[in-house]
Amino acid sequence: MTDVPANSRDKPAKPEKKLGLVGELVEIVKTVVYALLIALVLRVILFQPYTIPSASDEPNLYRGDYIIVTKWSYGWSRNSIPFSPPLFKGRLFFTPPQRGDIIVFKLPSSGHIDFIKRLVGLPGDRIQLKAGQLFINDKPAAEKPLGPGVGDLPGGVLPVKLQQETAPGGRSYKIQLATGQESAGDTGVYVVPPHCYFMMGDNRDNSLDSRFDPGLSPDDPKLGGCGWNAALDEKVGDQQGVGFVPEENLVGRARIILLSWNTGATEETACCASIFKPWTWFIDARPSRFFKVLH
């Protein structure tokens, strides 16, 4: 047997170097940066959450609904990125939206505020409302009464008429109308310009949408070529709304209500669930609206 030299036997492992305070701080910063970059990529390319702030899309979306929007549905524009930096123009990998989609978009008059409405008018369409009924290219959208209900209207929580509306192409969805005099229920004819879209809230009598003047001059660059005919204001009044939505302003398609909390009966009487009151996350939750697919 060969003797093993004493100095070749197992040696004790060298102690690991300690990073020290500065090194630990650097590691923490790197971890945070990586996490933020991953979150940014997911938010820009795949999904983005939104909380519904108003009642304009009742009876399908209510204040306090927490929804998920798919960013890839219509491709990407500068508005897909937080704060809409002017990195490029137009859309990448554009897929045109379909009539009836519920869409998040940037309000043309600001370029930064997120709005959510239903798409009812495509480029080249003629849109009009007569006695509250939607007409697309001079043909009425089919309506089916669903009975009475209550909804958030300009005068408070009031009785409403629930209806199922079916647009050309067969897409059906619920809408609600005031039982009395309707707001902007009789309009002129809106001709949707190229590369522009006409949006409406499902709560037809409590929605400042594409029926209303965007409040900008027709040649304002924020409108992206979706100029406005001021003569249309004669029927609906001079309230500022959305106007036509430029193709570049589309952010994504609303797909599902992930969670929902009661945040008050109306915008004027906000209450109940609050991010600063953790116990309300449970007592004011609306589980019946969790994981509800949007149509």
Residues serving a catalytic function are 56, 117
Residue 44 to residue 136: CA distance in whole angstroms: 33
Output the CA–CA distances (angstroms, integers) from residue 78 to 83, 114, 196, in the order listed: 9, 14, 17
Q: Which two tokens stand for residue 212?
A: 């209303």
Q: Which residue has the tokens 């979706």?
A: 226
Question: Measuring CA to CA, which residue among 162, 121, 154, 124 is closest to residue 54?
Answer: 154
Where are any strands of DSSP class E within the chain? 47-51, 65-70, 102-106, 114-121, 126-130, 133-136, 139-140, 142-153, 156-166, 172-178, 190-191, 196-200, 245-246, 250-260, 292-293
Residue 295 to residue 287: CA distance in whole angstroms: 19
- Read off the DSSP letter of residue 53: -
Decide: residue 279, CB within 10 A, 0-12 exposed, 13-18 middle, 19+ buried.
exposed
Where are any strands of DSSP class E within 52-125? 65-70, 102-106, 114-121
Q: Which two tokens stand for residue 33?
A: 């940066």
DSSP per-residue string spanning 133-171: EEEETTEEPEEEEEEEEEEEETTEEEEEEEEEEE-TTS-
DSSP per-residue string spanning 165-217: EE-TTS-EEEEEEESSSPTT-S---EEPPTTEEEEE-SBTTS---TTS--SS-
Answer for the pair 216, 230: CB distance below 8 angstroms, yes or no.
no
